[in-house]
Chain A
Amino acid sequence: MNRIQAKLQEDKKLLSIYFTAGYPSLNDTLTTIENLEKNGVDMIEIGLPFSDPLADGPTIQVSSTQALHNGMTSNVLFDQLKDIRKTVSIPLILMGYFNPMLQYGVEEFCKKCQDVGIDGLIIPDLPVEVYHEEYQTIFERYGLLNIFLITPQTSEKRIRYMDSISKGFIYTVSSASTTGSQSGFGKNQTDYFKRIADLKLVNPQIIGFGISDHETFSQATQHAKGAIIGSAFIKHVTKHGVNNLKKFTDIILKK
């Protein structure tokens, strides 16, 4: 069983953290991952930086630009991760835009992911139809789950379509927004989380975008299996570096 699938079966609400690989410093990637696991994080999304991250707000944009400036590339990342499975056992998901993957060669990229122990991919600008028609067999050949995003505007028909070809979880984007642009959830959003939960999908949902503290984490996980934090974490490491992450995870988990 894929590590993501195994994790989703655990009887707990999952905390997933996104960070940009190679940020704040090029060689922070491993330390970040190891410290996150040590401090109780359930799953990690490793962001492969891209020059033009359309779905991201200023925080992740700036971290991406800095990471690229630091020298991060697909090959550097794969190299940094080559022994990661000797020390880390939680699921690792690679999140990146489609173009770097396309240049690497989709199959070669997937193979590399499998080699280093990546469990799934999130590619915001690879539409579900294109994935389904052109890439699903390749992803699956290398044991990778593809994670689909849904938003409050995604139709039920389309959600069910994604649910039917998804084998991990559905990434519920909390509101119509780029990353890092929300603070706190209103009734609209909690209604939407509930509406999605009531669809009784095959795949569990994990909510992302707009989760930044214990309160939003609790609100989100009330109607979902887990929640993903990105921009708030990037802000934390920008200020405090990657060595002491306990402070951050403790706040989220209210330890």
Chain B
Amino acid sequence: MSYHVNEKGYYGQFGGAFIPEMLYPNVEELRQNYLKVMAEPDFKKEFDQLLKDYVGRPTPLYFAKRMSKKYNTNIYLKREDLCHTGAHKINNTIGQILMAKRLKKTRIIAETGAGQHGVATATVCALAGLECIVYMGEIDIARQAPNVARMKMLGAEVRPALSGSRTLKDATNEAIRDWINNPIDTHYIIGSAVGPHPYPDMVARFQSVVSEEIKWQLKEVEGRENPDYVVACVGGGSNAAGAYYHYLNEPDVKLIAVEAAGKGIYTGESAATSVLGKEGVIHGSKTLLMQTNDGQITEPYSISAGLDYPGVGPMHAHLYETKRAEFISVTDDEAMIAGLELSQLEGIIPAIETSHALAIFEDKKFKPEDVVVISLSGRGDKDLNTYIDYFKL
């Protein structure tokens, strides 16, 4: 079985492009060109060069000594938090801005939840000299003020999404509506491994540099390319897609996806899509999503704005359905404690999204000889206010 997308844009039964006809020409243009463009030598050269000189890749694969000792196993942290702009998101935006330029687009739109993808998009638009409009839920604008200011400094316009729950889902709706209204000159940089085909595959490919590096880095220190486990948090799923990518078809590498249980899976305030979701269509793809029996999409909840999404990318839905990946849910409280613990054990303050992935060690036990790689997807600067409120710092 392959865990990659097939030629029709599906991962098993998930994926596809369930889009209004108004979006068809845009998405079709991308579908016909993305693999071709990505294979061009000058595209690859420019992409690799920017990842190296601008993003700061390769990011370190760091052996977390004290954490490993505490949990009696071997824990490596893939330091995406050290990327320029503070998270893995920029790997994808660099790729997509180069793609947009080759498709002769002059206007860029994006959605953002926590603001990390918005900042990463505003950054590459500044780099490329392109107009940038970022849609962000009104609620997220209020709770992520520093990132809003960063986007503005970078020259982007931040437009509030005022509909629905006024969070990531609604920001995505607004970005899609913008694209419908601007079909010729605009490229939509989706930040997660969601959306109509080819987005989930394109985003996964741009993020795949993460697992490509893990392979050779682990070979250097452990003498083998394959860890026993790769662990990543999953909202829409872009950092997990990158960390898993080159291991998807390596059955000896176990994949762990960590979702946000919010205040508890069954409290009605959760974003644990694998448990609470059913097959459905959201933002252009068939995937697992949280919804009512009547097919209305429900409002998710997580303390982390980046995991506060009612769906999961189609690749991950397939990994769940086929049991290729183990899905674990972590509550707000467990994540916050794990974030504090990493700060004090290793001197690294993680993003709250990432803290979810770090929280599995209380319950999930590993063998002393296991090698566990965790995708440290982002740093916690943006979450300082949440940490301050939570721990009364």
Contacts and interface: CB of A to CB of B under 8 A. Distances in A.
B288 interface: no
A173 B22 contact: yes
Interface residues of B, number: 34
Interface in A44-102: 50-52, 54-55, 57-58, 61, 65, 68, 73-75, 97-102
Contacts of B368: none
B6 to A, nearest CB: 15
Nearest to A62: B163
B24 interface: yes
B344 interface: no
A151 B181 contact: no
Interface string B11-34: 000001111111011000000000
Interface string A112-134: 00000000000011111010000
A154 B25 contact: yes
Interface string A156-185: 001000000000000001001110010000
A125 B281 contact: yes
B139 to A, nearest CB: 16
Given A125-B20, A176-B22, A102 B180 contact: no
B21 A51 contact: no
B295 A124 contact: no
A126 B23 CA distance: 12
B278 A103 contact: yes
A229 interface: no
A121 to B, nearest CB: 14
Given A103-B291, A153-B25, A176-B181, A50 B296 contact: yes
Which of B173, B296, B298 has the most chain A CB within a 10 Å cutoff? B296
Contact of A124 (B20, B182, B183, B296): B20
A148 interface: yes
A43 interface: no
Contact of A73 (B24, B294, B297): B294
A150 interface: yes
B17 A103 contact: no
Nearest to B22: A151
B296 A51 contact: yes
A52 B21 contact: no
Contacts of A155: 25
A191 to B, nearest CB: 16
B14 to A, nearest CB: 13
A68 B21 contact: no
Nearest to B21: A149
Contacts of A100: 294-296
Contact of B177 (A57, A65, A99): A57
Contacts of A101: 295
Q: Size range of the interface on A?
A: 35 or more
B261 interface: no
A155 B32 CA distance: 15
B231 to A, nearest CB: 31
B146 interface: no
B297 A51 contact: yes
Interface in A159-215: 173, 176-178, 181
Interface in B255-297: 278-284, 291, 293-297
A138 B173 CA distance: 30
B180 A177 contact: yes
Contacts of B16: 130
A75 B182 CA distance: 36
B294 A74 contact: yes
Interface in A212-250: none
B176 interface: yes
Nearest to B176: A54
Contacts of A103: 278, 280, 291, 293-295
A127 B296 contact: no
Given A52-B169, A57-B177, A178-B180, A104 B295 contact: yes
Contacts of B173: 52, 54
Nearest to A125: B18
A102 B298 CA distance: 16
Which of A51, A58, A154, A155 has the most chain B CB within a 10 Å cutoff? A51
B164 interface: yes
Nearest to A61: B163
A2 to B, nearest CB: 22
A73 B296 CA distance: 9
A52 B295 contact: no
Contacts of A154: 21, 24-25
Given A52-B164, A102-B280, A130-B16, A148 B177 contact: no
Contacts of A178: 22, 177, 180-181
A127 B295 CA distance: 19
B18 A52 contact: no
Given A98-B18, A127-B18, A149-B22, A181 B181 contact: yes
A153 B295 contact: no
A98 B281 contact: yes
A99 B297 contact: yes
Contacts of A153: 22, 24-25, 183-184
Given A100-B295, A178-B180, A127 B17 contact: yes
Contacts of A125: 18-20, 281, 284
A65 B183 CA distance: 26
Nearest to A173: B22
B291 A54 contact: no
10 contacts: A51-B298, A52-B169, A55-B20, A68-B296, A99-B297, A102-B295, A127-B19, A176-B182, A177-B181, A178-B177
Interface of A: 50-52, 54-55, 57-58, 61, 65, 68, 73-75, 97-104, 124-128, 130, 148-151, 153-155, 158, 173, 176-178, 181
Interface of B: 16-22, 24-25, 163-164, 169, 173, 176-177, 180-184, 278-284, 291, 293-298
